[in-house]
Amino acid sequence: MTHSPSPSCHAPTAPTAPASDAPVYMGLPHERVLRPRFYVALALTLPVLVLAMGPMLFPSLAHTFPFSPALSAWLQLALTTPVFFWSGWFFIRRWAKSLSERDPNMFTLTVTGTGAAYLYSVSAVLFGHHFPDTLHTAAHGIPLYFEATAFITTIVLLGQILEQRAHARTDAAIRALMDLAPSVAHRVAADGHEQDVPLADILVADTLRVRPGEKVPVDGTLTDGAMESAGLVLVKGDLRALVRAVHLSRATLRNIKQNLFWAFAYNTAGIPLAAGLLVPFFGWSLNPMFAGAAMSLSSISVVANALRLRHAKL
């Protein structure tokens, strides 16, 4: 066996413990850092959802907890602010980086949407008396979207934690596979003398001997019956899986681009309409319940489009 110019088996180095906020995956810190922020976000988001959606879904709550619209708005502001700025801080950092590097990604869309909803809602709480009268309702006051900011931030945090765990399991499986590689190779000198050497000492164009039943230590060209004698394994024996993997990768990228485009277009048109910013110009406004449902439809459509990957032709 002649060693090729691209050795693939080296002793894996032990992973070092990352710093507290050092990025480890998609520009985010380790899920151990994200987990406490998720717990805080979840604990604060639940009461925000009750305050915002409870009286509309369960009118009896308005009598059980008779909060005025002004008090409810201030409570939602107090609860949502730490969710957006503390629990979602690493998302904001990734958002700023994507803008500075002109490299839009999922966090560009997420933080732009949640930030717009949060800033509009804060403006409605602080300067609601300057808003058009058509936005004021006797039952609920000015429509707010704190629950959208808190809920989306919490859900994205949960998704990143689950994704990191799946990625870590994949890494562990790959490292375990690399550990199966032998640590010593049998190098054959020009005079035919055989010597056992560590993999790190193998050079390009070295000739190695693979004994019956042994594993091939590095990438190379098989000679002198090595194919018959070495312990080789073909995964499932079906190389068509590689073609299907390429097609799946292309379908996934196409799906991501579709989600980014349509979600951005939908939010660009829907947020001003739901927030009532078009009322002074066109007189268009939405009932708060329909506005909240419309804002949720963006996330639902992204999930529905992603589920189409199950039926992708591979």
Q: DSSP states of 138-151 as a string?
A: TTTBS---HHHHHH
Question: What pLDDT, on the 0 to 100 scale, is given for residue 36?
Answer: 93
Q: Residue 273's CB: how many other CB atoms inside 10 A?
A: 16
Total domains present in the chain: 3
Q: Which domain holds residue 189?
A: 182-229
Quote the tokens at residue 256: 């991501």
Regarding whether 140 and 154 lie in a shared domain, the answer is yes
Residue with the larger pLDDT of the pair 33 and 306: 33
Instruction: Give dist(CA 223, CA 135) in Å, integer.
Output: 80
Question: Do the domain assignments include residue 51?
Answer: yes
Instruction: Give dist(CA 168, CA 249) in Å, integer.
Output: 20
- Whether the pLDDT of residue 138 is over 90: the answer is no
Regarding whether 54 and 139 lie in a shared domain, the answer is yes
Instruction: Give dist(CA 69, CA 62) in Å, integer.
Output: 10
The residues, any chain, with a CB within 8 Å of residue 133's CB and separated by 6 or more, are none
Whole-number CA gyration radius for the chain: 29
**What is this structure's pTM?**
0.59
Regarding whether 260 and 162 lie in a shared domain, the answer is no
Strand segments, DSSP code E, in 50-206 are 184-188, 194-198
Question: Do the domain assignments include residue 259?
Answer: yes
Quote the tokens at residue 94: 């990734």
Question: What pLDDT, on the 0 to 100 scale, is given for residue 8?
Answer: 38
Over residues 19-43, the pLDDT tens digits come to 467 777 777 888 888 999 999 999 9
| Residue 185, Cβ density class (10 Å: 0-12 exposed, 13-18 middle, ≥19 buried) | buried
Question: What pLDDT, on the 0 to 100 scale, is given for residue 92?
Answer: 93
At residue 5, what is the residue type? P
Question: Do the domain assignments include residue 9?
Answer: no
> Which has the closest alpha carbon to 78: 31, 125, 36, 134?
125
